[in-house]
A and B are shown apart, each in its own frame.
Chain A
Amino acid sequence: GENVEQHPSTLSVQEGDSAVIKCTYSDSASNYFPWYKQELGKGPQLIIDIRSNVGEKKDQRIAVTLNKTAKHFSLHITETQPEDSAVYFCAASWAGNQFYFGTGTSLTVIP
């Protein structure tokens, strides 16, 4: 089955700086890669996703890049704000299959 690894497990940045979280996957059949943000005591919230026919996608301060050859994808958050502090999960999936989640990254943005 699919194996998704996520790094780093914790990340602290100064407000205004950028944050990058990286994930690798093992199954070349995976073609859908979402990122979720989970605040304490809440369910994960989809913040951005990318499909295998695209190499990069951006939504305001958030961007995701995908390298299919290397089987890795990354989340980039620019101009970080304290409200970006949360746990972020990456996932990999292909149509009709379950989602395989990374182990999560706890991001702390220091004011």
Chain B
Amino acid sequence: GAVVSQHPSRVICKSGTSVKIECRSLDFQATTMFWYRQFPKQSLMLMATSNEGSKATYEQGVEKDKFLINHASLTLSTLTVTSAHPEDSSFYICSARTDDKNIQYFGAGTRLSVL
């Protein structure tokens, strides 16, 4: 299957700092990428849909000013958690959808710990 690379895999930061997570589709172009948050033993919670060249669409309850998404190319989307607080600690996962077949491939996830 197609490969989606997500970095970093783990990040520990101090409260109040910002953290950037990158999501790259390595062998296909993805007009649309998704960002999810996953709590322990729970399903994937969609945070936002990222479309290349346009503003991201955020799900209800997700603060767009806190979770900044940039999708500047067909192979790269970034999620920046601004002014991180301990309650932002979580597992964040990105996915990229193939343009032709509507298949989503996931990155390996980023474990964010805010101290």
Contacts and interface: CB of A to CB of B under 8 A. Distances in A.
A36 interface: yes
A49 B106 contact: no
Contacts of A93: 102
B49 A46 contact: no
Contact of A98 (B49, B103, B106, B111): B49
B68 interface: no
Contacts of B1: 45-46
Nearest to A102: B43
Contacts of B41: 104, 106
B67 interface: no
A49 B103 contact: yes
Contact of B34 (A34, A96, A98, A106): A98
For chain B, the bracket of interface size reads 20 to 34
B93 interface: yes
B106 A44 contact: yes
Contacts, number: 49
B93 A96 contact: no
Contact of B93 (A34, A44, A46, A49): A44
Interface in B72-115: 91, 93, 95, 102-109, 111
Contact of A45 (B42, B43, B44, B106): B106
B97 to A, nearest CB: 8
Contact of A36 (B49, B106, B109, B111): B106
B6 interface: yes
Interface of B: 1, 4, 6, 34, 41-44, 46, 49, 91, 93, 95, 102-109, 111
Interface of A: 32, 34, 36, 41-46, 49, 89, 91, 93-96, 98-99, 101-104, 106
13 contacts: A41-B91, A43-B4, A43-B109, A44-B44, A45-B106, A46-B104, A46-B106, A49-B103, A94-B102, A98-B46, A98-B49, A99-B34, A101-B44
